Amino acid sequence: MSSCGVIYVVGPSGVGKDSLLNWLYQHVQHMAPRPALHFAQRTITRSHENSNEQHEAVGFDEFAQLHAAGAFALQWDAHGLRYGVRHAQLVQARGWAIVNGSRAYAAQARTLLPGLAVLHVSAPHAALRARLTSRAREDEGQLQARMVRASALRLAPLEGDMHLVNAGSLDGSAREMCALIQQRTGLQLLPQV
């Protein structure tokens, strides 16, 4: 168990990664002492209006310039958008950084960041479709493309990876996620029993 590193959260669109990470962020803000957990902000070629994630919104040209200048520790393309995580978001004096990542980029992320702690989030097919539909971000064709990608892109967990099925309440799934992260990293995220 290391005292610092990166937790890389992956799963198809609609499994609830943003909701789980937002819950965790709010939970950590009220803890005393506060755990050494940094929520890495992503740079995305998407406006803030289309997302409930706090991110740095940039245009495609600006993203390309940042990428060419070596600004990103991690970067990937998905769903017609470009995503990056700046080096500064992962370099912490102490503690862990948590990143909302990409399944398609996980192997490269493991190579770039040895010791990466991967958290796989999944959900039943019906729950995925319902969540994607309720977001109302995509038309039916785009929604179907996300469903196909969710089924087609399966990432085989490696030894030491964490896995969470987000099928119950947000609070229940988030507390299960806390327990997994706590066991893997040693961060105290839940009350001691």
pLDDT digits (tens, 9 = 90+) for 71-125: 999 999 987 899 999 999 987 657 899 999 998 899 999 999 988 999 999 888 7
Is the separation of the CB atoms in 14 and 142 below 8 Å? no
- What's residue 34's pLDDT? 87
For residue range 132-142, list pLDDT tens digits in order. Answer: 666 666 666 66
HEC string of the chain equals CCCEEEEEEECCCCCCHHHHHHHHHHHHHCCCCCCCEEECCCEECCCHHHCCCCCEECCHHHHHHHHHCCCEEEEEEECCEEEEEEHHHHCCCCEEEEEECCHHHHHHHHHHCCCCEEEEEECCHHHHHHHHHHHCCCCHHHHHHHHHHHHHCCCCCCCCCEEEECCCCHHHHHHHHHHHHHHHHCCCCCCCC
Average pLDDT, the chain: 85
- CATH number of the domain that residue 157 is part of: 3.40.50.300
| Inside any domain, residue 56 | no
| Inside any domain, residue 192 | no
Angle separating helix axes 170-185 and 17-29, nearest 10 degrees: 70
Question: Is pLDDT above 80 for 127?
Answer: no
- What's residue 160's pLDDT? 86
- What's residue 46's pLDDT? 80
Report the C-alpha gap between 185 and 95 in whole angstroms. 9
| Inside any domain, residue 150 | yes
| Inside any domain, residue 181 | yes
Report the C-alpha gap between 139 and 137 in whole angstroms. 7
| Inside any domain, residue 167 | yes
- What's residue 23's pLDDT? 95
| Inside any domain, residue 66 | no
| Inside any domain, residue 14 | yes
For residue range 145-187, list pLDDT tens digits in order. Answer: 665 555 555 666 778 899 999 988 999 999 999 999 999 999 9
Residues 6+ away with beta carbon under 8 Å from 68 = none
Residues of the domain holding 17: 4-40+94-185
| Inside any domain, residue 11 | yes
Whole-model pTM: value is 0.84
Report the number of distinct structural domains present in the chain. 1
For residue range 36-70, list pLDDT tens digits in order. Answer: 999 999 999 986 565 667 789 999 999 999 999 99
